[in-house]
Structure 1
């Protein structure tokens, strides 16, 4: 499942009609496709699912509230499915890349944010995800330093601090 839409701005000021297609692609389509293909995989007792989430799935996302929430769903959903499949030879992996050099920046109105300056190539992210899926990993973050931060630092910070850090990251450069 590799599809995603994003957007930028305060939730109350955004047009809900803009966020609904994002929820359709990021949530509903992902669930539908997973259900469609998973039944056959379980019947054959063989298969691997790679859900494309995001590092956004580990944080609250001021200025991208709906996007971050949809990616949190993907991370949680993928892990829950993996546990349900524990007695089979079917695996579910959530790939959680940081910034990736794709058209997402323009489509999501995210230009001007310096976090995209060192974005990973789609090829390197795809390779990372493929390798994690083949190993049956539950969750894979493509950047080791980001993985350390999200797994070992952020969980111990006060939530208000995390919210402020996340918002500063999402604010466009002046």
Structure 2
């Protein structure tokens, strides 16, 4: 009567006894507690540093982020692959600029930004969000907002791996539906 974590440890030990150069793992941390999950990934990293190639499947995105290369699959087909950094760069409007203001109405700024830069914007009272992929427009956007609002905070947000997966998954769905 072994716990789920002990079963996973035993399974991994049996897999490693022959010192394989290639390790294929299907959701290796399912059913284990968070501490053991982190220990597993530290161990996988050590194995990789020793020259072991590790191919793993996971639906836990923070685990996938630990990988050197990532592949997204949908319906049994590879829809995108690369490093996390490269995959994020392929997502249009891949970063979000969040501007908070003292004024409650940011609609005018949102409309001006959309008209001038053709960027996707959203607004709600004190907050304005601008999706962009070219850093060179940030100063211009902030200047435009400052003319109409008193800015209280500025934040840039990179897309998460989950955001990136959703983009590629939706793009793949559009391609399939258009055929």
Name the TM-score, length of structure 2 as normaliser.
0.22
Bigger Rg, structure 1 or 2: 2
Name the TM-score, length of structure 1 as normaliser.
0.22
* Bigger proportion of residues as helix: 1
Select the structure with the greater relative contact order (CA < 8 A; seq sep ≥ 6). 1
